[in-house]
Amino acid sequence: MEDIPEEYIRKIIHVDMDAFYASVEQRDDPALRGKAIAVGGSRERGVVAAASYEARKYGVRSAMASAIAYRRCPGLIFVKPDFKKYRAVSEQIRHIFFRYTDLVEPLSLDEAYLDVSVNKAGISSASKIARQIRAEIKNEVSLNASAGISINKFLAKVASDINKPNGQKTIMPEEVIPFLEDLAINKFFGVGEKTAAKMKSLGIHRGRDLKEWDLALLKQEFGKAGQHYYQIVRGLQKTAVKPSRERKSLGAERTFDRDLIGQIEVESAFNDIFEIWYKRLKEQAMPGRTVTLKMKSQNFETISRSKTIAMLSLDRDTLKAAALELLNNSYRGEAIRLLGLSLSNFDPENNSSSTQLTLKF
Ligand SMILES: [Mg+2]
């Protein structure tokens, strides 16, 4: 059997909330539970943004004109979308992801890729992480999520659909090749409707048909995309999980020209950094819960220690006390090269790049 080169194998999870907007509405209004609902505009030109699973049974789909949806499902209940609420829930979910990895790439409010090849929990099984994440989402946000787990983003995304809703599917490295050979051509990343039609006309219906084509022929037929098709069908996708621009921490640090030696020098530098850091926090008005101290010693050994306080805080004395405690617990008299402080674990309401884009009129 062919082997996929190691540099193409990572542990990627695609998390996809089930009928997200509709599920949030059903969660918050018991009268909507178990009912066919559509989030969206009920008016003539309205469009369904999301449909509950009960509505999907009637063939109601997202992006469908509301008039058609209503015809398919005469009992359909329309609910006006509340994007502010969905955004807040989405942030809550994202913070669950951050417990495991900072490599989180949101695709929308209800979908994200996570790279857990190296993760904060030190769990080697990505399937186990996915299970934990889904359980935490259920416990803390009372919503169902599905997940796909595999070696790259494309496969993880295809996988998350397989046991939906409220399920997960792992495509193990050794399963990738046969899975791709069997996969319908329109499911491949980068194969849109037009390309799929063209491929079918060329006799390419599944991955295994695509594999019959050599690179030169694919390039001749599909131009630059030919290379992509050649690789993706062989499990060769390297696209990295790109973390969002969302601010996860706010810090200040300084590398010193000469080593700091002794308690007095270290404490004095610490106080300076605290002032710079605190000024930044005030400017950004971002209360947080976790204070982290970073210290690099002469032999370039870096230590990082965190303390999480009970409540979100921007209070000077509280933060100073937490930071000092970290310093006192960590400093052992060694010569210090670098000192830094940062705050994280921000209020999700306050901290979304998308929230910042919502202008208030
Ligand atoms: Mg979804």
Residues spanned by the domain of 288: 249-345
* Predicted local distance difference test score (pLDDT) of residue 246: 59
Residues paired with residue 290 on neighbouring β-strands, in sequence order: 308, 344
- Cα of 253 vs centre of ligand 1, distance in Å, is 40
pLDDT for 314-324, tens place per residue?
Answer: 888 899 999 99
The question of whether 111 is a catalytic residue gets the answer yes
* Domain stop point among 31, 50, 82: 82
CATH number for the domain harbouring residue 224: 1.10.150.20
Segment 248-270 shows an average pLDDT of: 89
Ligand 1 center–CA 147 separation, angstroms: 10
CA 93/CA 71 separation, integer angstroms: 35
Q: Is residue 242 part of a domain?
A: no
Distance of CA 113 from the midpoint of ligand 1 (Å): 13
The secondary element (H helix, E strand) that includes residue 200 is helix 193-201
Cβ–Cβ < 8 Å for 62, 50:
yes
Instruction: Give the Å distances, CA to CA, from 21 to 29, 39, 148, 292.
Output: 12, 7, 20, 36
The answer to the question of residue 110 being in a domain is no
Examine the domain organization and report whether 219 and 258 are in the same domain. no
311 token code pair: 């409540």
Q: What is the pLDDT of residues 79-113, one digit of tens each?
A: 988 888 988 999 999 999 999 999 999 888 899 99
Residues 253 and 221 in one domain: no
Q: What's the angle, vertex CA 336, arms to CA 335 and CA 340, rounded to 5? A: 165
Chain segment 336-357, per-residue pLDDT in tens: 999 999 999 876 654 443 333 3
**Averaged pLDDT, 29-36:** 97
Q: Ligand 1 centroid vs 103 CA: distance in angstroms?
A: 20
* Residues facing residue 170 across a β-bridge: 149
Whether residue 217 sits in one domain with residue 263: no
Look up residue 92 and give its amino acid: Q
Same domain flag for 219 and 260: no
DSSP per residue, 2-36: ----GGG---EEEEEETTHHHHHHHHH-GGGTTS-
Give the mean model confidence (pLDDT) for residues 250-266.
90
pLDDT of 119-164, one tens digit each?
999 999 999 999 999 999 999 999 999 999 999 999 999 999 999 9
Count of the separate structural domains present in the chain: 3
Q: Assign 181 to helix, strand or coil.
A: helix
At which of 48, 67, 82 does a domain end?
A: 82
Which CATH number do you get for residue 55? 3.40.1170.60
Catalytically annotated residue among 2, 91, 111, 221: 111
Radius of gyration of the chain (CA): 25
- Ligand 1 centroid – CA 138 distance (Å): 15
| Cα 18 to averaged position of ligand 1 atoms, centre (Å) | 5
342 vs 344: CA distance, rounded Å: 7
The strand pairing partners of 281, in sequence order, are none
